Structure 1
Amino acid sequence: MSEEILVNVTPRETRVAVVENGMLQEVHLERASRRGNVGNIYKGRVARVMPGMQAAFVDIGLERTAFLHAADIARVAQADGIEAATGGGAANGATANGHGHAALPSICELLRDGQDIVVQVIKDAIGSKGARVSAHLSIPSRCLVLLPQAHTLGISARIEDEDERTRLREIIARRTGENAPGYIVRTNAEGANEDALAFDLAYLGKVWRVVQENIARAQVGERVYEELSLPLRALRDLMHEDMEKVRVDSRETFDKLVKFVTKFMPELAGRIEHYTGERPIFDLFGVEDEIQRALDKNVPLKSGGYLVIDQTEAMTTIDVNTGGFLGARNLEDTAFRTNLEAAQAAARQLRLRNLGGIIIFDFIDMGDPEHRRQVLRHLEKSLAGDYAKTTVYAMSPLGLVEMTRKRTTESLARQLCEPCPTCSGRGVLKTAETVTYEIFREITRAVRQFEANQLLVLAASRVVQRILEEESTAVAELEQFTRKSIRFQPEEHYTQEQFDVVLL
């Protein structure tokens, strides 16, 4: 499989695209005006403890207070001159009940209003919700994740070879000693030599010492550790042995990437390339067109079927339709073939659109249990390459499949778009007929409340045209009923639902 990373840099925006076999799989963007905060560590202050929610709201200097659940706090200890919630969460090897602990103490036992606390953003503010934070701090490097408050060692589940897992565990144990902090060995560490792991250990030790110094002198709301910029994060998290090339269209960013790769993964340094072509790099590889298509609700399938993707506050639904696909022998076979293609296409769309949370697939009904099993297995196989954690549940009798995908940032559509000002995000508009009758009711209401000789109605051109052409009799009756003259004036800049009744 051929993989490339494309980095497009402009003064106010940086974008990273992951392309596999010539097809766009992921898009990440970062804007200077609002960089994401995931991974950043802040010195915060508890604004309000919420016993009924087993959580607290913490002021970390952002626009909205952050949300901290009791599961993300193990105990409260004195550290660096402030009270800091510390301990090991699910990532540190604790048992999990959905929040990472089998039995949680009351939030009131862990925190109090006005208490200072060091927390890390684990999920950016999304919609009307503030950022989600954790008191379990973690600092990643190329091969490892430092868990400074824990004393456990975890190995990525994606490293499946038992001999390799044992080798990595022995190296880390030998290099750190008994009282060392906790570490997670990342997938990138597979095959890494001892020198590379030792380098990461030294790097993380230096970073943590700087963070401790920053915590000691920081004021509430100050950031004490900042995650890497998008291009460097992309190399740290996405670069691997099979990545053929990283093309970047900025000389300055190219130099930074080369320096970073030379330091952390020198064997891959030759794969960084400065793109100097005339055509924009995203145009050359068709990325711009793919991004535009990723904002559409409908996704066409090669067979003639299509997906309809709807993202709401609570969940994302993906509806599968056969469309014009009639090539199979019978209805069951048509449904099966379309569902197989849809499962693969949908898995790609989840990555491309960065859709997360609860996702529900409405596959075409299939009567054959073996077909249902194969579609589910194909969906799971198609999701295997996703960097985000996914969990797929069994297909229901109605052909619905529920799944979850870990979400840490807004979806692509919510990063690039805003709710339509005309429909306010509803996705539908009142018809001209509906607005007409609203105008008639408003005229009646206005005449009863206020004195006027005549009335002027300002409305969208389409609405005025409909009133004058199709409702002229109704207008005459209304003038007779109100004993007022009514004049209609089209306004080009009015939306279809907008109108004003003016008394003259």
Structure 2
Amino acid sequence: MEKEMIVSSTGKTVEVALLEDGKLVEIHRQRSTDQFTVGDVFLGNVKRVTAPLNAAFVDIGHKKDAFLHYTDLGPKVRSLQKWYTTTASGKNPTDQLGKFRMEKEIVKTGKIDEVFKKRQVVLTQVLKEPISTKGPRLSCEITIPGRYLVITPFSETVAVSKKISTSEERKRLLVLVESIRPANFGVIVRTAAEGKGTAELFEEIELLMAKWKTIYEAAKTAKAPAKLLSEADKTTGLLRDLFTPDFSKIVVDDKELFETVREYVAGISKKKDIVQLHKSNRPVFDAHGITKQIKSSFGKTATMSSGAYIVIEHTEAMHTIDVNSGNKMPSQNQQEAVLKINLESAAEVARQLRLRDIGGIIVVDFIDMRDADHRKQLVSAMRKHMKNDRAQHTVLPLSKFGLMQITRQRVRPEVKITTAEKCPTCAGTGKVNATILLTDDIERDLNFIMEARPKAKLKLKVHPFIAAYLKRGMPSLQMKWYMKHYRWLQIQADNDFPITTYKFYDGADEEIKL
């Protein structure tokens, strides 16, 4: 399988597209203002302890309190809290845990109020990003991941990935890592460590221990809520988790990011030449056909090469996917034709789950098949296609009604891209408002914002025609507003805006609601 990664950096947003054999399978978007990424380590304040949920709600700086369930505390949570307390009070002279006295483990069936109290300061890690109306989900089992290894403080366990091909190699890595791991640090050996020697793994442990030291130094002075350690940015994080020798191309359109990615790839592989800088004036996603794939993949319906298509619906409780044969079903050997369409649909369903990052319960209604062997083939094919999915998932056999149930881990918000296009003038209403008073409306709102936010940097987004009108002449309306308020208003043209629409944004590029 040939893999490619295309990275588009546009101002404060970085978009990463992952392709397998030319097909878009994952798309990730990260804004520079994102503050709560999976893997970030925070110091938080316990806002309330809820016995019926056996959970605590923790303030880590998000507008919604983060959720910390008892099952996510980890057996060593008392040792973690003791370490933080002694570090913050200056009684812990080193980040090493060799001489640290561990506390008694908590039991699996315990209660949250036996561990945490209201207003207590806790050391936590983001387990799931904020989704919809929910705040982040937290864990007290701190893990620091690298390319080959993951270290877990306050543990003595060494675990080796079951995906490593031979038992001899797993045993070799187990013995090797056991000999080089720091005291009171557990280690998880990742699949990418297969075939690696002592020097490479020891170097990685040193890098991960340096991150642990960053947490230690920050914990000495930080006041909750505070971030103690940031996870790698989206691009290098994906490279760390996904990069394999079968990557054929990594294309980046930002020179600074290109150097970062090239340096990272050179550090873990001899294939640094696969990292390319996109130099064309044409957007990188357009040049590699990703924009076209996004528009064809994110609608309610996804059509396959055979003419068959799937329909994806979303409800509060679950996601449903219906498989349809289209109008090209052959009249002869219908059972074989149905199997072929279902197998093709299984591959597309697996791709769509990854691409949209759909989590929770998914029910797939395949075309009915009477042959038991065909049903087994379909389940086997679906599990095979889902193997490349990094999210934890379970694929159940077909029910007697021909439905397949899939559960998939939800870690980040579902990717939703609107592919429908409205009329830029009437926004699909069939009515156009009079534009004669538009500048008066803009000036009225501007006066209000100038008074309400006397120091904020302001930006106005409008249709290109309106932008040209506001900047035209000497003095222009833009200059008149500057002379009136002694603050410069940046005016930005946006082709996607209807001609009568305008929006104000602050210095963080957040829309100012009026």
Work out whether the TM-score is over 0.5. yes
1:330-376 Cα deviation digits (max 9, x unpaired): 54334322211111111111111111222111112211111111111
Q: In the alignment, which of 235, 240, 256 is matched to residue 239 of structure 2?
A: 235
Contact 1:137-1:149 at 8 Å conserved across structures: no
State the identity as a percent: 34
Contact 2:262-2:272 at 8 Å conserved across structures: yes
**Structure 1's 393 and 305: CA in aligned 2 closer, same or farther, altered over 3 A?**
same
Gaps of 5+ in 1: 85-100, 422-428, 430-492, 494-504
The separation in 2 between residues aligned to 1:160 and 1:289, in whole angstroms, is 38
Within a 5 Å distance, the mapping from 1:182-201 to structure 2 comes to: 182-201=186-205
Q: Does the alignment pair 1:252 with 2:253?
A: no
**Structure 1's 369 and 256: CA in aligned 2 closer, same or farther, altered over 3 A?**
same
**Structure 1's 18 and 350: CA in aligned 2 closer, same or farther, altered over 3 A?**
same
The residue that corresponds to 2:367 in the other structure is 364
1:145-203 Cα deviation digits (max 9, x unpaired): 111122211112222321111121111111126x3401111122122222211110111
The separation in 2 between residues aligned to 1:165 and 1:126, in whole angstroms, is 37
The separation in 2 between residues aligned to 1:81 and 1:45, in whole angstroms, is 14
Contact 1:30-1:36 at 8 Å conserved across structures: no
The separation in 2 between residues aligned to 1:317 and 1:148, in whole angstroms, is 41
The separation in 1 between residues aligned to 2:197 and 2:383, in whole angstroms, is 32
The residue that corresponds to 2:290 in the other structure is 287
Paired AA for residue 69 in structure 1: H
Within a 5 Å distance, the mapping from 1:48-67 to structure 2 comes to: 48-67=48-67
The separation in 2 between residues aligned to 1:47 and 1:167, in whole angstroms, is 47
Paired AA for residue 164 in structure 2: I
1:216-271 Cα deviation digits (max 9, x unpaired): 21111100000111121122112111112211111111111223233x31423232
The residue that corresponds to 1:212 in the other structure is 216
Q: Does the alignment pair 1:163 with 2:168?
A: yes
SS class of match (1:126): coil
Q: In the alignment, which of 106, 124, 127 is matched to residue 129 of structure 2?
A: 124
1:117-163 Cα deviation digits (max 9, x unpaired): 01100101111111110000111111111111222111122223211
The separation in 2 between residues aligned to 1:290 and 1:234, in whole angstroms, is 21
Q: In the alignment, which of 398, 402, 405 is matched to residue 395 of structure 1?
A: 398
The separation in 2 between residues aligned to 1:380 and 1:102, in whole angstroms, is 35
Contact 1:62-1:221 at 8 Å conserved across structures: no
**Structure 1's 35 and 111: CA in aligned 2 closer, same or farther, altered over 3 A?**
closer
Q: In the alignment, which of 147, 154, 167 is matched to residue 142 of structure 1?
A: 147
Structure 1 stretch displaced more, 57-66 or 321-330 = 321-330
Q: Does the alignment pair 1:106 with 2:108?
A: no
The residue that corresponds to 2:68 in the other structure is 68
Within a 5 Å distance, the mapping from 1:415-494 to structure 2 comes to: 416=417
SS class of match (1:81): helix
Paired AA for residue 238 in structure 1: L
Contact 1:58-1:67 at 8 Å conserved across structures: yes
**Structure 1's 38 and 82: CA in aligned 2 closer, same or farther, altered over 3 A?**
farther
Structure 1 stretch displaced more, 36-45 or 102-111 = 102-111
SS class of match (1:384): helix
1:42-69 Cα deviation digits (max 9, x unpaired): 0011111111111111111111100111
The residue that corresponds to 2:388 in the other structure is 385
Contact 1:82-1:116 at 8 Å conserved across structures: no
Q: In the alignment, which of 293, 298, 302 is matched to residue 299 of structure 1?
A: 302
Contact 1:294-1:353 at 8 Å conserved across structures: no
Structure with greater Cα Rg:
1
Work out the number of aligned pairs and report it: 403
Q: Does the alignment pair 1:345 with 2:343?
A: no
The residue that corresponds to 1:174 in the other structure is 179
Gaps of 5+ in 2: 89-105, 423-428, 430-499, 501-514
1:376-430 Cα deviation digits (max 9, x unpaired): 11111111122222211121111111112222111110xx459999xxxxxxx9x
Contact 2:87-2:220 at 8 Å conserved across structures: no
Contact 2:7-2:16 at 8 Å conserved across structures: yes
Q: Cα offset for 1:328? A: 5.1
Q: In the alignment, which of 335, 339, 356 is matched to residue 338 of structure 2?
A: 335
1:85-137 Cα deviation digits (max 9, x unpaired): xxxxxxxxxxxxxxxx9942011112111111011001011111111100001
SS class of match (2:57): strand
SS class of match (2:387): coil
Paired AA for residue 78 in structure 2: V
TM-score w.r.t. structure 1 length?
0.76
The separation in 2 between residues aligned to 1:193 and 1:316, in whole angstroms, is 45
The residue that corresponds to 1:373 in the other structure is 376
Q: Cα offset for 1:313? A: 3.3
Contact 2:299-2:418 at 8 Å conserved across structures: no
Within a 5 Å distance, the mapping from 1:312-323 to structure 2 comes to: 312-323=315-326
The separation in 2 between residues aligned to 1:170 and 1:347, in whole angstroms, is 37
Q: Does the alignment pair 1:273 with 2:276?
A: yes
RMSD over aligned CA atoms reads 2.4
Paired AA for residue 324 in structure 1: N
Paired AA for residue 112 in structure 1: K
TM-score w.r.t. structure 2 length?
0.74
The separation in 2 between residues aligned to 1:82 and 1:366, in whole angstroms, is 64
Paired AA for residue 389 in structure 2: D
The separation in 1 between residues aligned to 2:233 and 2:272, in whole angstroms, is 19
**Structure 1's 82 and 305: CA in aligned 2 closer, same or farther, altered over 3 A?**
farther
SS class of match (2:271): helix
Paired AA for residue 206 in structure 2: A
